[in-house]
Amino acid sequence: MMQPATRETSDGFTLLELLVAIAIFAIVGILAMSGYNQLVRQREHAADTMARIRAVQRTVVRLTQDFGQLEPRPIRDATAATVQPALSFNTTGAYVVEFTRSGWTNPAGINRSTLQRVGYRLVDGKLYRDYWTVLDRTLSNMPVQTQLLDKVTTFSLRFMDNNHQWQTSWPVSNGTTGNNKTTIQSRALPLAVEITLTLQDWGDIKRIVEAPG
């Protein structure tokens, strides 16, 4: 007895099944790439945030160390014509503040002073710390410049005088001489310094540093 003819079945995929599989694979790939890109952006943002935190911390520590080691040592200016006070605050000059500090480490044993002349300036939203390798410098002595922080809106200081009153300028004049020139206490130092940094992303950061007595 003859058996009825049977239809052979194929083990392959139809075109429609392949198209569906490709579409699913593409969707999964897009979702995976989107998640990866988001993870990369989060890592970059976290890295930028940590770098910013470290920069702010370094700047605050540097300011605290500098003003915590003030020294009553005036200097001659570059032309040797006048004497600059140990601490000079001038919001209209090239440097917002310039002063002499102690504690300049000398691990190599170089023949130099452990006192250091330092100046802070604010240029285009960037706070710079400059220092000179000599105290009584000449026109040929150029400062060593370091950018500490960016996105700085303002950098302001106040100084507590011997009467425990806050002053917005330093040095404070204490009268006039016979020729009507203001007498400057070139060696005078404040009791404390209030530092205010205003940042675009952090707002105000304030520190009060007790000056060495």
pLDDT digits (tens, 9 = 90+) for 173-190: 765 554 444 445 789 999
Which three-class secondary structure state does DSSP give residue 83? strand
Beta strands (DSSP E) in the chain are 75-76, 83-84, 87-89, 97-101, 116-123, 126-132, 144-149, 152-160, 166-167, 192-199, 203-210
As a whole number, mean pLDDT of residues 65-75 equals 95
Global confidence as pTM: 0.77
User: How high is the pLDDT of residue 181?
Assistant: 44
As a whole number, mean pLDDT of residues 50-59 equals 95
> Domains (ranges, CATH) in the chain?
64-210 (3.10.610.10)
Neighbours of 191 (CB within 10 A): 15
212 upstream amide cis, omega within 30 of 0: no
The conformational region for residue 168 under phi > 0 = left, psi -120 to 50 = alpha, else beta, is alpha
Q: Convert the pLDDT of each residue in 7-51 to its tens digit.
A: 555 566 687 777 777 878 778 878 778 777 777 777 887 888 999
User: How high is the pLDDT of residue 198?
Assistant: 97
User: How high is the pLDDT of residue 201?
Assistant: 92
DSSP 172: P
Give 140's pLDDT tier (boundaries 50, 70, 90): confident
